[in-house]
Amino acid sequence: MTVTLITGANKGIGFETARQLVQLGHTVYLGARDVERGGKAAAEIGARSVQLDVTDDASVGSALAEVGAAEDHLDVLVHNAGVLETGLDGPAALRSFDTNAVGIVRVTEAALPLLRRSSSPNVVVLSSSAGSFWAVTNPERAEFGLPLALYSASKAAATMLTLQYAKAHPGIRFNALEPGPTATDMTAAFGIGRPVEESARVVVRLATQGPDGPTGTFQDEAGALPW
């Protein structure tokens, strides 16, 4: 049985990714900050809920301890939790980087012992092409006109962390992913995006890759993305 943990998964792409992986036979741990919302979401799709706030060390440690006690290993880790701050000040910057970048470090470090016990460990980081220097400097790309300094900067950090983890742990696959423009609560103000089902399929495809799959990449559904 493939054991999967998804952060920030009580709604949006994370929830739909969890649903699709449950349908594929994964034992999915749906991580959510709010216990009640996480439990309700997990029950709806046949997943297991775990309280997990990626900005809180104690919460992260407790969540991974809970998964480890029940499963003794972790095959797939999906870093889905994220925030999009439209303001630009110190507190907003701290929130952006704490969730979108530092949270990756917290959860990955806590999960490494369980990932090493898997025969095919796989980590997927939901990043963004808004964090690609190539995309934001290309007038032909939509990212060129997005005024999202903190989101873009924190997602650039997320992609770099993915690469560095791939280099540091060659026995574990680490890949960053742009899932595609998606209509979620986070993007509601922009009125853009496709249904979460479509973007979740992109995540699922990478989350279910075999041992011969790539590592240290930044990609979208069409393939590798320039950084």
Tell me the torsion sign for CA atoms 217, 82, 121, 206: negative
151 tagged catalytic: yes
Q: Which one of the listed residues 11, 40, 151, 165 is annotated catalytic?
A: 151
Closest by CA to 131, choosing from 96, 106, 156, 149, is 156
Reported for 160-166, long-range contacts at CB under 8 A and 24+ positions apart, including other chains, are 161/101, 161/104, 161/105, 161/125, 162/104, 162/123, 162/125, 162/127, 162/216, 162/218, 163/216, 163/218, 165/108, 165/123, 166/215, 166/216
- Distance, CA of 189 to CA of 208 (rounded, Å): 32
Is the Cβ–Cβ distance between 62 and 46 less than 8 Å?
no
Beta-strand ranges (E) seen in the chain are 3-6, 27-32, 48-51, 76-79, 122-126, 173-177, 217-220, 223-224
Q: Which one of the listed residues 11, 40, 155, 167 is annotated catalytic?
A: 155
Q: Which are the catalytic amino acids?
A: 151, 155
